[in-house]
């Protein structure tokens, strides 16, 4: 700055007002949607502050200015939560910097820069002034928030592509994929990370963690690290260890809370948690945990997306084997197995460098806030590098073995008869299918299965499987002896079964041995709740002899975590075949049969167990059926705006009905959008007969009045 030509000083330099230039700073830091009245900036990027003086301006050589930034309850320079730096040039990437941009007789504009390694959070900005008069004065200038910066190459969360930054930081809506691998349904979700007060709530969430309660000074010093932050948030989204945001419930009884299927956004959940002083919100399941975590991480500046894994393993003993047990009627026996295959499971991927790991393991990391297993004593999971999962490097931090099993475990089906059990099927394709996330830049679905695993049935896939198994059980896998190796221990199919391919057909309905009958279920049409289910069993005699086949068929509702409910329909029939004959066997399951038994997840598992009279070979075929909700059509018409703000914090309720069977209804809502750009309009319909029905419409809102 150029020294001012002023008269002889009669007083020290006094500050009367500080302008944080919130509107312009926030716009440049991609935080304008968070606030235009509060300064919210990103580390590693300059921002400007204007100091206004009382009697005279700043004079270099006469006035010495020190700036001070502090965060946390115990600011400390050695821990990085307090910085004292002069108004002068310094290394902008390693320490805090303050530079005079312009100077006048009444004000001075300063450019400040937080290093790309600074702790995120709420900061106090102070200034200490020494003048030639001997007068020293200190001022508390105000408060600002500092977030991670995906636009800064030196930040550990840096993303090169602007479209990716727009998708994984700035996009405030998305989809959570549900259903099953053959019927994938997008469920709209409002992340709302830029809604008023959400950033305050996200920072409060960090302050309520057990890490902070145990050691506040260390906790704040580690908030510079996205790996640390992601583990804290993963633990705090669930309430199993602390006063976390959400309480999980898989019981089907939500009478003293909100059913997980009724939520359609994160804002109401986070605000309720904050308003009640940190009381867990009832209730959540995996997709709610993941969607709320996406909101928090995007708000804090970490690129994040929501990922759904169809047929997701949850096995307890670490042998990468899921065991399921059936009785002779085809009923799945829940109490016989400690393992389970979730129809779908939802987690997050967060983008960050992994300086704690060998090179090459940065990028997308798996985080799972659903409380399944503990990690270092707390119910959290990750970050686990996606690359480590694909390559079987399960020794790397954090929780890679658990994540690997969710997408790679094999499934073994057993038939229970009294005290005897008989192996029905060994399926290497049963787990980790159609791993899905929202597509970059569009509302379509992207399949990212190949980023988690090699092609099913390939040599590489089996090699990675064995590599991971060896790392988890090195002593068990070390000996090459057939008596003690992985096949003898039941980890892999026995050598005598090697003549049969280890992988099953795409439908996963092949028997373990080379049976001479092929069975497959096929839906007549996509079923909708309230309608009868038309189902056909395709049966093919592969042999050259006559044979009879006994079929026991069972249908039972299942929860999305794989828990079966009691069967509501069973049937037995005998089918005779000529050599090489194909038959189709139709069934119809009426709504009166399943309506009273279907769960809120609207999932039905149909199982048939067949027994040949020639080889006495057993066959297992099954199909998971997802019942679709009635369709909701949304038409957006331009016209005079109405009184309703477009945001999750607002709502408009209208009664529709009662409706008779097959009857249609329409309702009109006047809406005034308050933010421009691409937005998602959501409609939620609740009924006394079935769970919430959700519809959505993507709209483009012009930056001026009108559409």
Residues with catalytic roles? 286, 345, 368
Q: Which residue has the tokens 């006035």?
A: 63
Between the alpha carbon of residue 152 and those of residues 25, 149, 180, 188, 301, the distances in Å are: 16, 6, 39, 31, 11
Q: Which residues pair with 520 in a beta bridge?
A: 538
Determine the Cα–Cα distance for residues 551 and 329; give it in Å rounded to an integer.
9
Contact 431, 311 (CB under 8 A): yes
Strands 603-612, 618-626: pairing is: antiparallel
DSSP designation for 459: H
Q: What is the DSSP annotation of 409-428?
A: -EEEEEEEETTEEEEEEEES
Contact 176, 291 (CB under 8 A): yes
DSSP designation for 528: B
| Residue 408 marked as a ligand binder | yes
Question: Considering all CA atoms of the chain, what is the largest pairwise distance in Å, rounded to the nearest integer?
Answer: 115
Counting Cβ atoms within 10 Å, is residue 162 exposed (0-12), middle (13-18) or buried (19+)? exposed
Q: Which residue has the tokens 């009381």?
A: 279
**Residue 94 DSSP SS3:** coil
Dihedral sign for Cα 273, 436, 460, 496, please.
Answer: positive
Between the alpha carbon of residue 30 and those of residues 124, 162, 295, 301, the distances in Å are: 21, 12, 16, 10
Counting Cβ atoms within 10 Å, is residue 563 exposed (0-12), middle (13-18) or buried (19+)? middle
Q: What does the block give as tokens for 6?
A: 């002023």
Q: Which residues pair with 139 in a beta bridge?
A: 127
Query: Of 219, 281, 232, which Cα lies nearest the Cα of 73?
Result: 219
The radius of gyration computed from the CA coordinates of the chain, to the nearest angstrom, equals 30
Conformation bin of residue 706: beta by default, left when phi > 0, alpha when psi is -120 to 50: left
Q: What does the block give as tokens for 64?
A: 């010495």
Dihedral sign for Cα 604, 265, 440, 672, please.
Answer: positive
Determine the Cα–Cα distance for residues 300 and 233; give it in Å rounded to an integer.
11
Dihedral sign for Cα 388, 393, 399, 403, please.
Answer: positive
Q: What does the block give as tokens for 232?
A: 């804290």
| Residue 309 marked as a ligand binder | no
Neighbours of 360 (CB within 10 A): 12
Q: What does the block give as tokens for 189?
A: 């979700």
| Residue 196 marked as a ligand binder | no
Residue 540's Cβ-side half-sphere holds a number of Cα atoms within 13 Å equal to 7
Contact 221, 206 (CB under 8 A): no
Counting Cβ atoms within 10 Å, is residue 315 exposed (0-12), middle (13-18) or buried (19+)? buried
| Residue 461 marked as a ligand binder | yes
Annotated binding-site members for Ca(2+): 408, 410, 456, 461
> Which amino acids are annotated as binding site, given as ranges?
408, 410, 456, 461
């Amino acid at each position: 700055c150029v020294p001012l030509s002023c008269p002889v000083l009669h007083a020290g330099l006094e500050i009367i007002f500080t302008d944080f230039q919130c509107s312009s700073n926030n716009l440049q830091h991609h935080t304008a949607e968070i606030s235009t009245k509060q300064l919210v900036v990103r580390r590693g990027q300059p921002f400007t502050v204007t100091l206004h003086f009382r009697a005279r301006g700043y004079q270099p050589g006469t006035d010495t200015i020190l700036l001070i930034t502090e965060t946390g309850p115990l600011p400390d320079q050695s821990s990085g939560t307090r910085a004292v730096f002069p108004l002068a040039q310094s290394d902008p990437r390693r320490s805090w910097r303050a530079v005079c941009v312009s100077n006048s007789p009444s004000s001075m504009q300063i450019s400040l820069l937080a290093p790309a390694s600074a702790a995120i959070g709420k900061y106090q900005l102070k200034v200490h002034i020494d003048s030639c008069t001997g007068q020293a004065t200190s001022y508390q200038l105000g408060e600002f928030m500092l977030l991670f910066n995906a636009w800064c190459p030196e930040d550990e969360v840096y993303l090169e592509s602007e479209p990716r930054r727009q998708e994984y930081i700035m996009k405030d809506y998305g989809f959570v994929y549900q259903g099953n691998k053959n019927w994938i349904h997008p469920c709209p979700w409002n992340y709302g990370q830029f809604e008023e007060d959400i950033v305050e709530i996200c920072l409060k969430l960090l302050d309520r963690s057990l890490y902070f309660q145990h050691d506040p000074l260390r906790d704040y010093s580690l908030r510079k690290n996205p790996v640390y932050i992601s583990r804290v948030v993963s633990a705090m989204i669930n309430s199993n260890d602390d006063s976390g945001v959400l309480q999980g419930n898989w019981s089907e009884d939500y009478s003293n809370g909100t059913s997980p299927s009724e939520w359609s956004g994160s804002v109401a959940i986070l605000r309720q948690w904050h308003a009640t002083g940190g009381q867990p919100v009832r209730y959540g399941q995996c997709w709610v945990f993941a969607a709320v975590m996406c909101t928090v991480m995007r708000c804090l500046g970490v690129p994040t997306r929501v990922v759904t894994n169809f047929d997701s393993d949850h096995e307890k003993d670490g042998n990468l084997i899921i065991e399921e047990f059936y009785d002779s009627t085809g009923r799945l026996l829940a109490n016989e197995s400690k393992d389970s295959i979730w129809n779908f499971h939802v987690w997050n991927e967060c983008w960050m460098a992994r300086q704690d790991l060998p090179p090459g393991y940065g990028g997308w990391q798996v985080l799972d806030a659903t409380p399944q297993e503990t990690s270092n004593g707390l119910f959290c999971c990750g970050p686990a590098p996606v690359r480590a999962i694909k390559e079987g490097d399960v020794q790397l931090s954090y929780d890679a073995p658990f994540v690997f099993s969710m997408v790679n475990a094999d499934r073994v089906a057993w038939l229970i008869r009294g005290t005897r059990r008989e192996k029905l099927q060994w399926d290497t394709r049963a787990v980790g299918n159609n791993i899905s996330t929202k597509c970059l830049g569009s509302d379509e679905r992207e399949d990212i299965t190949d980023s988690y695993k090699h092609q099913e049935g390939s040599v590489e896939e089996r090699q990675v499987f064995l590599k991971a198994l060896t790392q988890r059980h090195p002593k068990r896998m070390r000996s090459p002896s057939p008596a003690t190796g992985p096949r003898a221990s039941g980890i892999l199919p026995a050598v005598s079964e090697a003549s049969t391919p280890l992988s099953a057909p795409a439908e996963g309905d092949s028997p373990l041995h080379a049976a001479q009958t092929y069975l497959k279920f096929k839906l007549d049409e996509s079923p909708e709740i309230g309608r009868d289910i038309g189902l056909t069993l395709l049966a093919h005699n592969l042999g050259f002899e006559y044979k009879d086949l006994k079929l026991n068929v069972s249908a039972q509702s299942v929860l999305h975590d794989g828990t079966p409910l009691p069967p509501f329909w069973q049937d037995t029939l005998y089918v005779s075949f000529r050599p090489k004959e194909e038959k189709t066997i139709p069934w119809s399951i009426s709504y009166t049969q399943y309506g009273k038994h279907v769960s809120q997840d609207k999932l039905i598992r149909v199982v048939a167990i067949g027994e040949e009279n020639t080889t006495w070979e057993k066959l297992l075929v099954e199909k998971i059926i997802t019942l679709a909700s009635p369709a909701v059509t949304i038409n957006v018409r331009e016209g005079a705006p109405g009184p309703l703000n477009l945001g999750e914090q607002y709502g408009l309720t209208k009664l529709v009905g009662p409706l008779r069977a097959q009857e249609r209804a329409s309702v009109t809502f006047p809406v005034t959008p308050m933010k421009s750009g691409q937005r998602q309009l959501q409609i939620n319909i609740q009924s006394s007969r079935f769970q919430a029905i959700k519809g959505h419409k993507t709209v483009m809102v012009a930056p001026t009045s009108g559409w």
